[in-house]
Structures are given as structure tokens and as C-alpha cells.
Structure 1
């Protein structure tokens, strides 16, 4: 691994791989550190048409199109006594659809594209600490897992923290992450095979429905 990089990105999910790819395409030296080894499971599978222009910026839209994800035509809502559909065909422009993705595959596709775009990617490497010069972060400590003897430090000119819920900078250093008490609740999820498609809503739609004590979504 380099001992210094122009830009260090923490996290190889969609945010990290997107930021890294865009910067690499502009000629910047970018190093990305991802704690997991892809493919890895992640929840959050339903994306919106507004993501498609971003895929174009990344020059990765064709790869996503050819991968075979479920094409998403909109959404179906059953909320209390009200039922309605949101059909992406009614949107202006050419981006009148989106995808229901399998995150392990989608995220790996984006990370592989970052590698192809010139990003130096290291999987299975977690950031353990950030060093500062005054208020400016200047280097990161890393290792290959708590049971690994391999560790080191990488300096950088700029840092982009895309570590998601872990929030390396937000939780450990800036301490500016605040939880909204309204969202202090419980969510559960599961997956089923061989389920018939919904007979309501646009093809490939997500269904969002309310129940007396909460709400749920179904993603094909």
C-alpha cells in the first residue's frame, strides 16, 4: 500500500466508490480502504431514477443495465384507507425507470469499476485511527483485522469519509452525529424465494404499506 495518497476514501460502498471513481476520472490519485471483502451483504436495495444520471457520470450505466437487476417501474402505496401508484413513466426525460438491486452484487460492480477507473482499492483493510495536524486530518492508521499483525499508516492531502453507520470521523472525532428520537424504533426484514409478483402497481414496483403499529415495504 502507498504511504501517502492525494485523496483517501474510507469505505467502498456506493458513496465511496462513486466519489473515488469521479475523482480518479479527473486525474487525481485516489486510495480507497474498505473493511470488508466484497461481495458482502448489505440491505437497501431499491434505487430511484435520479441515480441513473450518476451512473452515466461514472460511465458504469451499461454494466448495471447488462447485469440483469430487476427493472423498477415505480411504486405502489397502501397507506391507511388510501391506495395509489407512482409510475416512473410519468417522469420527464429518458430516465423513467430504475432498479431493484442485490446490494452485494451492485456494490461489488461499482467497486470493481472504481478499480478499472484507476482507484487503488484495498479490501479487508479497516481504518483504526485518524491523526490530525491542528484541526486538519492528515493520516490514517489501518490494519487487516484485529487478529492480523499487518498494519500501517497512510498520509493524505484530503479525506473523504464514506464509512456509513460506522462514521469514523463523525463518531470518533467530530462527535457530531445526533440521533433523532422519532426514529428510535425497531425494524426487521427477511427474504423469500418463489414469490409471485404483486398484482398491483407498475412492473417491478416497490410496495409501501401501513399497518396499525407500523409500516413495511416489499421489494421484488
Structure 2
């Protein structure tokens, strides 16, 4: 089954509760946390996530685009995240391993994320303990970017590694997902699709979510 995770990066932050309710037919809610260091943009942090948790029972898929994420795992877990994804490029491998260990101790699902510059093989030291791998099909940092078709090879490679070492692990794709690109990433092996503009820019949001389920 294909799961859809609308990104609130494309929501109206002045009407965030309303816009979360508008995507309630989706499977996950994607929350992009950016620190202005790992990526050039700054978005939201722990207090906002805590507020979101109070107003929805949706599965909170929290994407940490921050440097040295190990520092904030416990705080985001306590704020209500159901899953935390950390970028492999954001810290030394030993610290990524420590971040994943903390996720386990906090009872949240574990994920790692890959920028387009990162090879699929980078997930191997962690793969057997992961619940999800996130492959970026744009450079992280801003919504509304064009889909990078070259990343389809990375998605295929990640899917092959998942099937070999941890078949229960989900494969999420984030960046430029729309009705035209969704079938491409699903064919390549993705089963969780993050979409911002394609969902929140639609006149009929439930129909837009359904259209992405290919």
C-alpha cells in the first residue's frame, strides 16, 4: 500500500490546525524541521511540534534537517514525534548511531535521510535497525523544488538493500512529488510519498491525496 505524508511546509502557518485537518485522509503528517545551518532555511522547532501533537492524532513523521541531531532526539520525541529521520550528512557516523539508539530508548520509529549527493550504500551500517529510509529527490531546505529524476537510481538501490537486509523497512521519497512523478518513484521502490505543493496547492485536497496513491 502506498502511504501519503503531506508536508506542512506548504501549509498556511497562520491556519496550521485547519490545514492539518484538511489532510486528515493521509497516512502520515510530514513535519520539516530546519535549523538554518544544515540547510539555509529555518522552519519550526520543538514548541510547534508539541502544539501540533495536541491537535491531531495523525502519525507525525518528523524530518530533522539539522546539524548534530543527536542533541534534540529526546526533545522531539517528548514533543510527540512518532518517527524521527536524521540526515546521514549531519554528523559523524558514531553520532548518527547514537541518535538512533536514543530514538529506540524514547520509543519512536527510527529513520535516516539521504541528500542527493549521498550514495545508497551509506545506509548499510544502520539499515537492520531502521523503520524507514528517506531519499531526497531535491536538495533539502525549501519546498516547491523540481524533482531530480537522477535520484530514481538511488531509490532503486535503496529498495534493493532494504529487500536484502530489512524487508520491513519503509522507503520514503521527498521532493517534487506530484501526480506525474509519483508513479516513477513507486515503480523505483518507494512506498511512502511526501508531498507539499501537490497537496496544499490543490483545490480538492482529499482528491489530490488520493491521486498520489497511484
The TM-score with structure 2 as length reference comes to: 0.23
Compare relative contact order (CA 8 Å, sep 6+) and give the higher one, 1 or 2. Answer: 1
The TM-score with structure 1 as length reference comes to: 0.23
Structure showing greater Rg = 1
